[in-house]
Chains A and B, each alone.
Chain A
């Protein structure tokens, strides 16, 4: 896979890398739009370019297009300008679809930024900065640019005045109360592609500073690791034959910065689609940041069989995935509660299926009869008879495919 052709557009760092090391971004971007608009991906950078410095016009190498556009829309909505709107007009008519996707997302994000506390806003700004900053250094990791990359990881780094403060704050946030740092790995599955990676349930691991956690193939010997509870320090194992027994390792330093190293794997470790070392050669420690995409091995025999699939995963570090409830979440939750029939206060705030409370930041399903459950709880009932839905609470039969007319 990594030997596929290089994307056509100009890549400033391209000459630093063997061409074979760059993976075409089509497949990551197609997963964002999950349709046949691969050819639009080159337009995406165009869509978001009007509000980005010229240096950033080149497409980020790993599916950050959406992120870019989101942070862009946050910035534009904060500066009280309607810069999102010009986008469709500036792009050729064909990517209108893609722009619409952004359009439908943008108002929500824009709302979010209105509601969000300043910290959230700062974070978003920092992220936006980070994107500008880190894209280049990351493509050329093998240059002595470790420091750059580390700086990019620290949102405050480019603002020297505030960097120390935000660093210490991040340390406090990253380490949990028992002194562990954590990583969460979620599978990167593209259902629209026939060669989607191996599926696995999200894995959460915690380790002490200055320690390692190994990544390798599932074998009889490390059986226990496969069933280790979330948040343990057990090795990370995958049931795929393209993963070597000792494939790679995560290292976490005393500041909570995570690194990845290829441990002489035979089929390679890829960080954001770039192979870290040749077959059976150890790589150096590569710094990692939230959202990095790691791939272990390559699909073998077309990846049609589950055990020959490579492992593609997105990593998040130090509990960054645990969203904090913000004002926006609370207000929306309040509005949702008002959407429901108020027959009894108890049924209003409780999911009738699991009997747990319905709270902000949970995935919910609201039926046409205005009852709500956790999506996870109601899903078996929805899929059993879809599109007919028989409300377990009030026994109303609803048609979930009803046309959504505005007429009456």
Chain B
């Protein structure tokens, strides 16, 4: 494998030395561009108490293009589909090389606290969300309990 850019080394070091509360990210031993991530559900959201597993991969031209991030834990959210793909502007067109792994993961955490059914990725979930928000939040809580809470 080609040598790891200094930027990635620096970011990794900082993630370890100065971790973000509620978020962990550790690089895989075989591939230092691949990170195993957990994000705690925001406390005032239906995802509270859940620990969500994600995978994050830094492509070759990172930081000129966005990291690839995907939920591994099943989640009921209008902007996250059943494959775990995330609809978030900063992961697509609004990516900027001034953003970092840290800021991206914080954005994802914020997305959990503020679902946006008007710009859906999972259409069925967004539909439910718009028709009966209370019910949708209830389902989201059940899914969190079922898949994301460690027993």
Contact = CB atoms under 8 A, between A and B. Distances in A.
A354 B98 contact: no
B6 A354 contact: yes
B7 interface: yes
B18 to A, nearest CB: 12
Contacts of B115: none
B97 A392 contact: yes
Interface residues of B, number: 11
* Chain A interface, DSSP helix/strand/loop, else mixed: loop
A67 interface: no
Given A354-B7, A355-B11, A380 B64 contact: yes
Size category, A interface: 10 to 19
A353 B6 contact: no
B96 interface: yes
A128 B100 CA distance: 50
A355 B64 contact: no
A281 interface: no
Interface in A343-396: 352-356, 377, 380-381, 392-393, 395
A393 B6 contact: no
Interface string B56-68: 0000000110000
B10 interface: yes
Contacts of A354: 5-7
**Interface core residue of B6, B10, B11, B98 (most chain A CB under 10 Å):** B98
Contacts of A377: 97
Contacts, number: 27
* Chain B interface, DSSP helix/strand/loop, else mixed: loop
Contacts of B100: 355
B91 to A, nearest CB: 15
Nearest to A394: B98
A356 B13 CA distance: 13
A352 B97 contact: yes
B98 A392 contact: yes
Interface string B77-107: 0000000000000000000111010000000
A249 to B, nearest CB: 32
Nearest to B8: A355
A173 to B, nearest CB: 29
Contacts of A381: 64, 97
Contacts of B11: 355
Contacts of A353: 7, 63, 97-98
Contacts of B96: 392-393, 395
Interface of A: 352-356, 377, 380-381, 392-393, 395
27 contacts: A352-B97, A352-B98, A353-B7, A353-B63, A353-B97, A353-B98, A354-B5, A354-B6, A354-B7, A355-B6, A355-B7, A355-B10, A355-B11, A355-B100, A356-B6, A356-B7, A356-B10, A377-B97, A380-B64, A381-B64, A381-B97, A392-B96, A392-B97, A392-B98, A393-B96, A393-B98, A395-B96
